Amino acid sequence: MFDLVIFDCDGVLIDSEIISANMLIAELAKLGVEIDLAYVARHFLGRSYPTVMETIRREFHLTLPSEFEANYRAKLLQTFETELQVMPHVAEVIAALRLPYCIATSSSPMRAAKSLAMVGLGHLVGDGLFTSTMVAKGKPAPDLFLHAAAQMGANPARCLVIEDSLTGIRAARAAGMAVWRFTGGSHLKNHLPEEPEDARPDLRFASFAEFYQIAPELKVPQ
């Protein structure tokens, strides 16, 4: 059924979104912008920093200071050093996957590489790591997923995307790919946004321990 598995990174491979969201909420509050986790989940999850910045400008009539991004990223990576965790069972799933796989993320290349290295997934960084900086339009446009498939030599119709965000699901749908929604990240506990019709996955799962129960054919034969 599939020739390639494409994993999102934040909120799928690493349990980073709750850390990022809480820090963004705190940093924006210093500038008088009051948002909560539900707002972040609805508007920012799965999107690139420029999109977040534009949303804040449009919704709150605030242009973020030029140094905001650099300071936010530096604080975030510092916090990751002590708090970031790999998503449970994901390393075992990847190790047993019989298909080629890659990562397609809205994170910056540096943040993605450093984050994966921090949790013991540094071996995933390389030619199989694709970021929104490589395409004209990030998620929810299909560009990033289509770019990843093309670079990996896969037909989009035979790709499986693992995503946590509505933005990512929309991008996978627009790319003509199958998409499963992972709902086990800390950021989605009690904050699972309703899925509009254009952002409904083919299935949902809450733990990577269930991955090969759902699709045993994707596992290397014992």
Mean pLDDT along residues 9-34: 93
pTM across the whole model:
0.90
Mean pLDDT of 131-160: 97
pLDDT by residue (tens digit) across 59-68?
A: 999 888 889 9
Confidence tier at 193 by pLDDT (50, 70, 90): confident
pLDDT at 113: 94
Which tens digits make up the pLDDT trace of 35-53?
998 888 888 887 777 888 8
Torsion sign (Cα): 14, 19, 25, 30? negative
Q: What percent of the chain has pLDDT over 90?
A: 74
Label residue 188 by pLDDT band (50, 70, 90): confident
What is the per-residue pLDDT for 133?
A: 93
Looking at every residue in the chain, the average pLDDT score rounds to 93
Does the pLDDT of residue 146 top 80, yes or no?
yes
CB-based contacts of 66, cutoff 8 Å, min separation 6: none
Q: What are phi and psi of 6, to 5 degrees?
A: -110, 115
**Secondary structure (H, E, C), the chain:** CCCEEEECCECCCECCHHHHHHHHHHHHHCCCCCCCHHHHHHHCCCCCHHHHHHHHHHHHCCCCCCCHHHHHHHHHHHHHHHHCCECCCHHHHHHCECCCEEEEECCCHHHHHHHHHHCCCHHHCCCCEEEHHHCCCCCCCCHHHHHHHHHHCCCHHHEEEEECCHHHHHHHHHCCCEEEEECCCHHHCCCCCCCCHHHCCCEEECCHHHHHHHCHHHECCC
Which phi and psi (to 5°) does residue 10 adopt? -70, 125
- Of 3-7, 55-59, 91-95, 190-194, the least confident: 190-194
Half-sphere exposure of 95 (CA within 13 A, CB side): 7
Between 210 and 110, residue with greater pLDDT: 210
User: 78-132: per-residue pLDDT in tens?
Assistant: 999 999 999 999 999 999 999 999 999 998 898 899 999 999 999 998 899 999 9
Asked if 46 and 141 count as a contact pair (C-beta separation under 8 A), the reply is no
Please classify residue 70 by burial: count the beta carbons closer than 10 Å to its beta carbon, then call 0-12 exposed, 13-18 middle and 19+ buried. exposed
Is residue 190 scored above 80 in pLDDT?
no
- pLDDT the model gives residue 73: 86
N residues, the chain: 222
Task: State the pLDDT at residue 180.
Answer: 98
In degrees to the nearest 10, what's the CA dihedral of 20, 24, 27, 29?
-140
